[in-house]
Amino acid sequence: MQIVRLITITFGPLSDPYKRWTFEIDNLKVTTIGFQEQDKSSLMLVKCQRDCTGRLNVNQSNEITVPPEIVLQMDRAIESAANLVSVLQQTKRVLRAAMPPVAFVPESDQERKWLDSTRGLNPLGGHFFGVRYNLDIELQSALLDRPDGVALMAEANAQEHPAGIFHELIRVFERAFALTSTELVKPLSTFLEQSGQGYSEDEIRNWLVEIRHPATHADRQDFYVVERGLRPLVRRMTQAAYDVLLNKVEWRSNSTSRRDIWKPEGGTAAPRGSTVFLTKKLATFEATVMDAFNTYPVNLEVGIKNFIQNDWWIKLTNDPGKVADTANGS
């Protein structure tokens, strides 16, 4: 049995040699199978294929399960290829999971019969929730004594990549309490715990120490954090940053005193957005819908029907379009 990983990559404009390519990375081939030039960008569909004989199974719902290490190796190869193009062409790159995120290639009648006996693959993983806040213009008066905090929050909002958002939000917290990230753990957790939104010292320490250091430094340790390790955090961190910016009494102080200036109409009440809350009847929730392996957001705007090969076996147990519509509702 073979498994095919399918990823879309958006670059800026590319020169001809970079529009279609094959890279061999860690004994895996990453190949462009579709390319489209768009307005000031280039969109490509790439595949990486490898053997997974004897590694597949089904869960209690008779859905196919794929060992994470199989997909992780392919994802690293695809990311390495995307990074090479990004560096050599001096352009950004955005990776998204195609839909379907994988296909299977049976190499015998027995393998095809086994695939046919299953319900297929659930193409979707978790969702990372956030809220689009409806902030009253009168709140400007509450921000007059902290223009530096407003500037840093604006910097965070200007970022499109999770790493950029993460770093700017850390600066909002540091500026608010006039403390380094390590010193911030206790006062920031004490402040946020009072909001009743499920923050804990463990969660705050994870942001400020366990994730921040490998997300900021790459000098001594082999381990470092990139996009996939930051995306699950930034929506909830943004929620916390707005709470700090608007509700902290003493700006540029380690004080944990709060004021009742603003309450979000909704948000997340647990790490990684596993639980949500409402304080009003209506809130505009936004969700990042992840692929089956919780690695990349799904790309529902790119159809790959014309690129599906005859020997690929595909059966999905969930309609990603319906799930995405539900996740982005009010």
Across residues 178-184, what is the average pLDDT? 95
Number of domains in the chain: 2
270 and 234 belong to one structural domain: yes
Question: 31-40, 170-179, 265-274 — which is least confidently predicted?
Answer: 265-274
Which single residue is written with the structure tokens 């996740």?
A: 327
Task: Give yes or no: residues 10 and 107 share one domain.
Answer: yes
Contact 109, 303 (CB under 8 A): no
Whether 297 and 229 share a structural domain: no
In this predicted structure, the answer to whether residue 325 has a pLDDT above a threshold of 80 is no
Residue 293 · residue 102 · CB < 8 Å: no
pLDDT tens track for 238-250: 999 999 999 999 9
Domain range for 268 is 133-283
222 confidence band (pLDDT: 50, 70, 90): confident
116 neighbors 59 (Cβ within 8 angstroms)? no
Mean pLDDT of the chain: 92
Given a cut of 70, whether residue 321 has pLDDT beyond it is no
For residue 249, the model assigns a pLDDT of: 98
pLDDT of residue 84: 97
Using CA atoms, how far residue 185 sits from 175, 177, 207, in Å, is 14, 11, 9
Task: Point out the least confidently predicted range of 26-35, 82-91, 265-274.
Answer: 265-274
Which range has highest mean pLDDT (32-46, 211-225, 315-329)?
32-46
Same domain (yes/no): 137, 271: yes
Provide the pLDDT confidence category of residue 330 given band limits of 50, 70 and 90.
very low
Q: Token match 């905090």: residue?
A: 149
| Cα–Cα distance measured from residue 80 to residue 87, given in angstroms and rounded to the nearest whole number | 11
The reply to whether 161 and 231 lie within a common domain is yes
Nearest Cα neighbor of 296 from 226, 208, 224 is: 226
Does position 130 have pLDDT exceeding 90, yes or no?
A: no
| 270 & 147 share domain | yes
Calpha distance 268→261 (Å, rounded): 19
pLDDT of residue 324: 46
> Encoding tokens for residue 44?
């490509």
pLDDT value for 101: 96
β-strands 124-131, 22-25: how paired? Answer: unpaired
Report the interhelical angle of 227-247 vs 181-193 (nearest 10°).
60
**295 burial level (CB within 10 Å; 0-12, 13-18, 19+):** buried
178, 107: one domain: no
Across-strand partners of 5?
48, 102
Q: What is the mean pLDDT of residues 106-132?
A: 92
Say yes or no: 264 and 137 in one domain.
yes
Q: Output the CA–CA distances (angstroms, integers) from residue 319 to 48, 99, 285, 296, in the order listed.
A: 24, 10, 20, 17
238 shares its domain with 310: no
Asked whether residue 156 falls in the same domain as residue 262, the answer is yes
Sorting pLDDT into bands at 50, 70 and 90, what band is 320?
low
**pLDDT tens column, 75-85:** 999 999 999 99
Which residues contact residue 136 at a Cβ distance below 8 angstroms, ignoring those fewer than 6 apart? none
What's the CA gap between 164 and 170, in Å, rounded?
10
* Rounded Cα gap, residues 185 and 15, in angstroms: 47
Q: What is the pLDDT of residue 127?
A: 82
Contact (CB, 8 A) for 91 and 13: yes
Residues 310, 253 share a domain: no
- How far apart are the two ends of the chain, measured CA to CA in Å? 43
Same domain, 94 and 152: no
DSSP state at residue 328: T
pLDDT band at residue 274 using 50, 70 and 90 as cut-offs: low
